[in-house]
Chain A
Amino acid sequence: MMNERSSTVCVDDKKLSATYFEMIKRAAMLIGRKIVSCMEYIIFTVSIVLLWSGLETMGYINPITLPAPATIAATTVSMLKDGSLQQQLLISIIRVLEGYFLACGLGIILGIVIGLSKKMNKMLDLVIQILRPIPPIGWIPLAILWFGIGEISKVFIIFLGGFFVVLINVIDGIRQVDYKLIEVAKVLEIPRFRMIATLIIPAALPNIFTGMRVALAACWACVVAAELVASSSGIGYMIMNARQFSMSDVVIVGMLSIGVIGKCMDVALKQVERKITRYEG
C-alpha cells in the first residue's frame, strides 16, 4: 500500500515538473519568435549602417560629402542637447499639421459632396484634373505674391500637397461603394441622409484613410520645399542653412528626423485606422 501511494506521488511530481518545463519551453519559444521577428524587421537597416561605417573607416567615402553614422549620431545628440533640433522640428510639425488638417477637412467634405452628386462631379472634374498634376512647389511664387513670406504661404503649400490626394481618394471611395449594399438600404426604406451617414461614409472609410495616409507623406514633402524657398525657421530652413556651411551631418540629421517623425505619424494614423476598421480582422 505504502509503496503504491508513494509511487503515485512521485508520478504526480514528475507530471508537475513536466508541465512547468512545458510552460517555460513555450514561453521561451514565444520570446524567441518575438526576437526573430524583431531582427527580421531591423536587419536590413542595421546592415546598411554597418556597411556605411565600414566603407567610411576604410576610407572609401569622403566624410565631408557623406559623414559616418557615428558622426551623425553625435551631431544628433548635441543638437538635441542644445534644443535646436527640437525647436526647428516643432515649427515644421506645427506647419505640417495645420496644412494637413486643413487638407483633410476640406478634402473629405468636398470629396463626399462631389462623390455623392454626379452633377457636381461632372462640373468640377475638369478643374480638379487640371489643378491636380501641378506640383505644390509650382505654387510657391504665387503663394508668396498672395500671402507674403509668412506662415500662411507655407501652410497653403502644405495644404495643396495633401488636399488633392485626400479629395481624389474620398471621391473614389464614395463612388465605389457597393451598389448591392445601397439596394439593401433602399429595400429597408432608409432615408437618404441616414443612408449617407450610416452606409456610404462607413463603406468609403478604408479609401478615405488611404488618402489621409498618402497625404501625410505629401505634406511632409511640401513643408521642406516651402521652407527651402522662403523661410528663416523650420527643418527645411535648417537643412538649407547647413548646406551653405557644408555641414552635411546637420543636413542628414534634418533629413532623417523628417523620416522618423513621418514614420511615427503614419504608425499613429494606422493605429486609428485599425481601431475604426476592426471589423475587417
Chain B
Amino acid sequence: MNSYVQVNHLCKSFGQGDRKLQVLKNINFTIEEGEFVCLIGGSGCGKSTILRLISGLDEEYEGEIFVDGKTVCGTSRERGVIFQKHRLFPWLTVAENIGYSLQHTGKKEKYEIVQSYIDLVGLSGFERSYPKQLSGGMAQRANIARALVNNPKLLLLDEPFSALDAFTKIALQKEMYRIKEGKKSTMLMVTHDIEEAVYLADKIIMLSPKFPTGEKIIRVDLPRPRDRNSKEFVELKKYFLIIFSVIR
C-alpha cells in the first residue's frame, strides 16, 4: 500500500500578493520502489520545481511529500540529484569530484569506490582530468558517478541529457537504464524529450495546467530493451505528441 514516494495535493507558488504565481496545483502521484518514472511537460509547467521539492532543496510548499514513509525535510544523501548542467567543481579532478562526498572512508577504500564508479560510467583514463578538459558527455558521466557514489535509494534527474548531442544522448540513456538495473535504485527524471521518456520510463507523468488534476499518469508497458523504431514505440510517441498538441 505504501509507495516509496508519495506526493499528495502538492501546491506551490512563487512570489507574494498580486504577483503570486501558482506553478503547481494539486499534484498527486506515487512512485514504487525500483520504478523509473519520467516527468514531462512544457517549459514553465513546474516539473523541475517538483524535483527540487522532493530533493529538499526547496522546502516551501503546500500538501504532502513522503519519501520512504517520511516527510521530506532538507536534503539527504538518500536522495541523489543529477542536475542539467554537470556542476562539477572546476578545481577538482574527475576522481576528486566523484569522491568529494566520501568523507569518513579510508584512503584506500575511497580510491577503490571512486575507481569502481569511474569504471561504471566509462571514464577510465580520465581520473586526473579537470572538468574543463572533458567533453559535455564525459562531464555528465562524471556528474552521474558523483551522485551514485553515495548509493542513493532515490535518484532525481533534472533534464540530465538535454544539453548533449543526439549520439551521446542515446548512449547515455542506454547506460542510465543499465545503471538503474544494476543498482536497483528508484529514479525520477524530468525531461521535455518525449522519446527519452518513452524509452526509459515505466511510468510517465505528464504535467500541464490544462489537466483537471494538474497531472496525467500513463504506464509504459513496452518490453525492454526497447526498440525506438518498433510500431508500438512510435505509436506511443505519437500519442503523447497528440496530447501535447491538444492541450497547448
Q: Which residues of A contact B (CB under 8 A)?
A: 180-181, 183-184, 186-190, 194, 198-199, 202-203, 205, 277, 279-281
Contacts and interface: CB of A to CB of B under 8 A. Distances in A.
Given A187-B75, A189-B75, A279 B91 contact: yes
Given A180-B83, A180-B85, A184-B87, A190 B101 contact: yes
A277 B91 CA distance: 7
B130 interface: yes
7 contacts: A180-B83, A183-B57, A184-B89, A187-B75, A190-B100, A203-B91, A279-B130
A183 B57 CA distance: 7
A55 B134 CA distance: 56
B183 interface: no
Given A180-B85, A199-B89, A280-B90, A187 B130 contact: no
Given A187-B80, A188-B77, A202 B91 contact: yes
A180 to B, nearest CB: 5
A241 B151 CA distance: 73
A184 B77 CA distance: 11
A182 to B, nearest CB: 10
Contact of A279 (B81, B103, B132, B146): B132
A183 to B, nearest CB: 6
A203 B91 CA distance: 8
Contacts of A199: 89
A104 to B, nearest CB: 20
A189 B87 contact: no
B28 interface: no
A190 B103 CA distance: 9
Contacts of B77: 187-189
B150 interface: yes
B132 A187 contact: no
Interface of B: 55, 57, 75-77, 79-81, 83, 85, 87, 89-92, 100-101, 103, 130-132, 146-147, 150
Contacts, number: 52
B130 A186 contact: no
Given A189-B75, A279-B132, A194 B85 contact: no
B225 to A, nearest CB: 30
B86 to A, nearest CB: 10
Contacts of A190: 100-101, 103
Nearest to A279: B130
Contacts of B76: 189
A159 B225 CA distance: 68
A198 B79 CA distance: 22
Contacts of B75: 186-187, 189
Nearest to A199: B89
Nearest to A189: B77
Contacts of B130: 279
Contacts of B101: 188-190
Nearest to A202: B91
A280 B132 contact: yes
Contacts of B89: 181, 184, 199, 202-203
Contacts of B83: 180, 183-184
Contacts of A194: 103
A201 to B, nearest CB: 10
Contacts of B90: 279-280
Which of B91, B130, B132 is the most central at the interface, judged by chain A CB atoms within 10 Å of its CB?
A: B91
Contacts of B132: 279-281
Given A180-B85, A279-B132, 7 more contacts: A183-B87, A187-B80, A187-B147, A190-B100, A194-B103, A279-B130, A279-B131
A255 B79 CA distance: 62
A205 B132 CA distance: 17
B85 A188 contact: no
Contact of B81 (A181, A187, A280): A187
A181 B87 contact: yes
Contacts of A184: 81, 83, 87, 89
Contacts of A203: 89, 91
A205 B89 CA distance: 13
Contacts of A183: 57, 83, 87
